[in-house]
Homo-oligomer: A and B are copies of this chain.
């Protein structure tokens, strides 16, 4: 038996949809040479990560082994695949490889962060191959919901891995490369040891629909609209932007793009050559002068993001443009679980303005960018892998995907973030669990998931807070203790100001306390805490968070 092995280690994206980061390694155990596929981020929410900017995978394991890392390969330009490059590149320090469109996005991120954009190298698609230690990597064009998405062929001495990235089987994607079954059949004939595969839509039992199927629907909608039309989708969905813009043009409307991400994405797509014949666009100040029936807006904020163009239009205006009664707002998008409330807020605000909101309840105006179950089955048939490793999904997705693979006789395994899998043999085998998790970009600082920073914020949000100060000189109190209340009702049961009640009870405690207690910070703190907790419970029925500051003045 060879002393070398082929390993797979997801550090993000396996057990969640978001912050993808997959390590492959080949070599003697513990000395494998490594590559990283994708380096994405995910977004915070108020329930678990209030105040956090973005969330990154914890790549400590890899950073400690950066000397064994041969390169970073980015499959496509979605934030959950490329969004962390600028945040984490310094810890890894190796070249980033991506195809033209993706590379341009990655370079922009590096530049904005003051990092060397030339560390991002533009790769050509298969049959070109990049050598990276024991690995030979080819970018295989696939269709997805943005241009130049790629699967990766990762050839190793132990066999071939086909890492799908995100993909769908779309023969007519409008922008980007069509699904070519013959390419995958050929790759399959060359022999695939491991299919590392997108699991997002494994629960969807219908074959995926093509991007081009939306064109007539959207065109009919825009033609039939009487006032202005504003449509939102993900900025990166360049094909959809084109469909929307073409629908506007066909209806004789001028096109205006609203939102920074939207404009940046179209610029990069045009410059990189993936977006051709995009209709001319008007700047917002000119669009604001047009009659509504001549206007087609394409706007950011499909997930109800508070500061995006959609939310601002729903609240009044954005860059001088205002929606009015009789206008139409089209959600050409899917709401990501967890974002429903934000999206519904926008929808209801538009409703209050008299704007007709068209959502995608029947899939009429949106198709997914991921392969559904029948598509995954077709992919598997074409590639005939010796084993399947599901990735890009919550645990339930990975588990279901594993079940499908097994049904066709293909060994498979659920490997969540931190599970190191040995792929060398006939079946995947978990051999080690390494520390994996998330870190938070918090303001300008990266904090750990378990540092307690966010936990403390959540506690104050749930419980409110009382801050107590007492000043002591030796065994005597100087003045009376102070209390500051944050996020608590001003008065409770007795209708007297809560702060007064607390302060007078704190004063009484200090008054009563013997010299021995007043010399002992722990005893004082314990006593003060008890007083606050008891009054808070009696008066307002809750236990606030508590901070006690005991200031000791040196006796003169």
A interface, CB within 8 angstroms of B: 15, 45-47, 50-51, 203, 337-338, 340-341, 344, 347-348, 351-352, 357, 361, 394-396, 399, 416, 442-445, 447, 451, 453-454, 456-458, 460-465, 467, 469, 471, 478-479, 482, 484, 486-493, 539-542, 545, 547, 549, 551-554
Q: Which residues of B contact A46 (CB under 8 A)?
A: 45-47, 50, 461
User: Can you give 20 contacting A-B residue pairs, CB < 8 Å?
Assistant: A47-B47, A50-B461, A51-B464, A203-B361, A347-B396, A348-B396, A351-B399, A352-B416, A443-B540, A444-B492, A444-B493, A444-B540, A445-B539, A445-B541, A453-B489, A453-B490, A456-B464, A460-B486, A479-B554, A484-B549
Q: Does more than half of chain A's interface fall in helix, strand or loop, or is it mixed?
A: mixed
User: In the bound complex, do residue A460 and residue B487 qualify as a contact, i.e. CB atoms below 8 Å apart?
Assistant: yes
Minimum CB–CB distance from A341 to chain B (whole Å) comes to 4
A458 in contact with B456 given A396-B347, A471-B551, A484-B547 (CB within 8 Å): no
The answer to whether B482 and A549 have CB atoms under 8 Å apart is yes
From residue A108, how far is it (CB to closest CB) to chain B in Å? 20
CB <8 Å contact, A344 and B471: no
> Could you list 17 further interchain pairs (A-B, Cβ under 8 angstroms) beyond the known A46-B461, A337-B344, A469-B549?
A45-B341, A46-B46, A46-B50, A51-B464, A348-B395, A444-B541, A445-B492, A447-B489, A453-B487, A457-B464, A461-B461, A467-B484, A471-B471, A478-B478, A479-B553, A482-B551, A484-B549
Closest B residue to A362 using CB positions: B205
Given contacts A394-B348, A399-B351, A541-B443, contact A457 B467 (CB under 8 A): no
Min distance, Cβ A521 to any Cβ of chain B, angstroms? 13
How many angstroms from the CA of A22 to the CA of B479 in the assembled complex?
54
- A395 and B490 CA atoms in complex are apart in Å by 33
> A337–B347 contact, CB under 8 A?
no
Q: Are B487 and A454 in contact (CB under 8 A)?
A: yes
